[in-house]
Amino acid sequence: MAPRSAPTGRQRRLAVELRRMREQAGVSIQQAATMLGADRTMISNVEAARTRLSEERVRQLACNYGCADEPLTNALASMTGSRRNRDWWVEYRGKLPDGFLDISEIEHHAARIRTAQTVHLPGLLQTEEHARALFELVVPKLPRLEVELRVAHRLERQNILGREQPTPYVGIIHEAALRMQFGGRDVARTQLEYLADAADRDNITLLVIPFSAESFHGAGQSILYAEGPVRQLDTVQLDTAYGPYFADAPTPLANYRALLDLMEDSALPPDESQKFIRSIARDM
């Protein structure tokens, strides 16, 4: 097990889940180390994502902690593979904030993605011109090179929706977001037409909450919910003024699942939502 620096978000998540598993089992750090025939520093390094683990060692830890959840153990073991030299987002390391790379990694491995937006449109379905218009509004103003890097990164993220085995995606969008005209009327119209066309794909479902829905749960929030191979490994990402915030504890995960369900209940059905998007585009 070799030490390493700058663990990825996926590696940090593995460390968090192993610590959570140990604590739920009532096993102390010292006890965990004793069962492995190691010192407590090794367990501390594992749980701080400072030590790379093999698949076999993850399974050994799960066994020592009395975990009988085989799907969870298998999912955790699959997180040990180091892909950082092959994943496309690695080329942005040191050029964009780490949170951007973490979002890419989470989306890449998600079994299904659900999002909800009330002001902005889904990043996974933004056109190049729309994305550029948004990044040009960042305060303080971004250098031109960073704007273009962020646009390129956002467009590459979208490949998960069109790859050989595309990720299932459900996007909840409030009418207010559809009527924003970032980049001007022509850019906005093209963006809406792109959204409506995307809804024709089998793996993409768009649900619009119209103004006529009046009050609805989740107003003002921007949510990305990435489902893992097992529910315990789901992740929520929220936009903040200081960058992306990630939540993975059981209670917030359950709360955001329930919130997205309620938002879906307030939305129009998929076919009506697609027609609604096209009608707004025609009126621009």
Write out pLDDT tens, residues 145-172.
999 999 999 999 999 999 999 999 999 9
Tell me if 211 is assigned to some domain. yes
**What average pLDDT score do residues 117-121 get?**
95
- Of the three residues 80, 99, 130, the one that is the final residue of a domain is 80
116 with 188, same domain? yes
Please give the Cα distance from 25 to 19 (Å, whole number).
10
Q: Supply the pLDDT for residue 1.
A: 44
Residue 119, both tokens: 């002001």
Tell me if 225 is assigned to some domain. yes
Please give the Cα distance from 229 to 130 (Å, whole number).
32
Query: What mean pLDDT value characterizes the chain?
Result: 94
136 with 259, same domain? yes
27: pLDDT confidence band, cut at 50, 70 and 90?
very high
**What average pLDDT score do residues 256-276 get?**
97
The pTM for the full model equals 0.94
Tell me if 247 is assigned to some domain. yes
- Of the three residues 52, 80, 108, the one that is the final residue of a domain is 80
User: Around 203, how many Cα atoms within 13 Å sit in the side-chain half-sphere?
Assistant: 17
- Number of independent structural domains in the chain: 2
Please give the Cα distance from 169 to 25 (Å, whole number).
35
Tell me the residue range of the domain where 15 lies.
Answer: 9-80
**What average pLDDT score do residues 177-199 get?**
98
